[in-house]
Amino acid sequence: MSTKTKLNGHARKQTPTASKASPEVWSFFSGAMGLDLGLEMAGVHPTLAVEIDSWCCATVRRNRPSLTLVEGDVTKMTGAELRELRGCSGEVELVVGGPPCQSFSPGGKRAALSDPRGNLIYEYFRLISEIRPRYFVMENVANLITAALNHRPIKDRPGKHWNLRAYSNGRPLAEDGVAPLEDDELSGSAIRQILNDVQGLNYHVTFGVLDAADLGAPQHRLRFVMFGARDGFPPALPTPTHGDGVRGLLPFRTVRDAIWDIRLNPGPHSSYTEDMAAYFALIPPGGTWRNLPIELQKSGLGPAYESGGGKTGFFRRLDYDGLSPTVTTKPNRKGSAMCHPEFVRPISVWECARLQGFPDDWIIEGPMNQQYQQIGNAVPTYLGKAIGEKFLPLLQTAADDAVVPAPRLEHMLEVASARLRRAACNKRGRNSTPDLFGQLA
């Protein structure tokens, strides 16, 4: 173990605080513990957390002081060392984690698996291979489905298309003397490589793209989720509990449900410059930069106005009676804006936490910008709870024969890709729900 690794403030081996009957559940890349809190809500209690960010670790220590917390770099850890720290020589029932996702996020610079941050997925798989838990969960950004194994900048692509799908489906790949994209530069090459490599772990897997809104969150947040089982088959992914009032689902939770009661006492929040506030004052609830007059669209977006893509994050204003877009880490920026539906200000730290499902007594440590960052990077607790509910029955028994076989990998990939495309097309697509075992419903 690296000398820089800290064990919950103590440079010694911890005695596990959970009872002997409690299953070993280990969390990696724990952050502010959104996924872990969701698991707890379902009755699955993490016994170990691993995180490198010091402010996130401060948050974990503040709220879960008895949890075994390892502060350090996963690339310098081994499964054997973590077992020693936990005093665990027996079965680790479940390992969960979301390796940092900026390499694949639409909000950051694309670099896919050629980026060291993308390679943290493989560090996670290495630890799984060393720990050999009964089950594992990996969650990541939904764009992992479309990411390339190797990223070629837009300016170096033939035709300079920003969307890699322009180079698929038999369309010409060469243009103006520019070399065509290689197979590993095409959309979907990253996930295909990951699926090929994960089979080497000798785990059966099921995966797909889930929207946290379908599971009770008051925001659309698409996530790639993979379940793995060492013996037998993993459980099926969670199915929607909330929707648009059809198929017997509960109605979607709205922004009003989440933050109306604290609108006059929202707690600390960032602010807009006077110029930025002038733009937001013209945008109605649920609107974006497209609601501005053309001349203000051009001045507000600047060079981004002429760039490709939908620019859906620019000058967004929430709607009390709708779902929030994905909570961001910088709601005061024009390109990742989350303006309050009623007031001309960014939503507050507390309001972001409400949209993510954090309980009001969960304390986020650090200065305000770090609090926004921790909350925006978190997994919605609603998604974590839905995942926990799938695994709780399995952790209470040693048998795995009650779980049905997973669909074919190619079928799961087709369904996940279709889910992502429909979500990108329109709001109706976001509210449509894919059937993992059949067609889009």
The three-state secondary structure class of 417 is: helix
**Angstrom distance (rounded) from CA 62 to CA 425:** 42
Sequence-ordered list of residues with C-beta below 8 angstroms from that of 441, at least 6 positions apart, any chain: 247, 432, 433, 434, 435
To the nearest 10°, report the CA torsion of 408, 246, 389, 52: 80
**Angstrom distance (rounded) from CA 111 to CA 168:** 19
**Angstrom distance (rounded) from CA 258 to CA 324:** 10
**Angstrom distance (rounded) from CA 183 to CA 180:** 9
| 101 labelled catalytic | yes
The active-site residue, picked from 57, 101, 339, 352, is 101
Sequence-ordered list of residues with C-beta below 8 angstroms from that of 226, at least 6 positions apart, any chain: 137, 138, 139, 198, 205, 206, 207
Whole-angstrom Cα Rg for the chain:
22
Neighbours of 336 (CB within 10 A): 19
For residue 30, which of 379, 376, 361, 363 has the smallest C-alpha distance?
Answer: 379
Q: Which amino acids are annotated catalytic?
A: 101
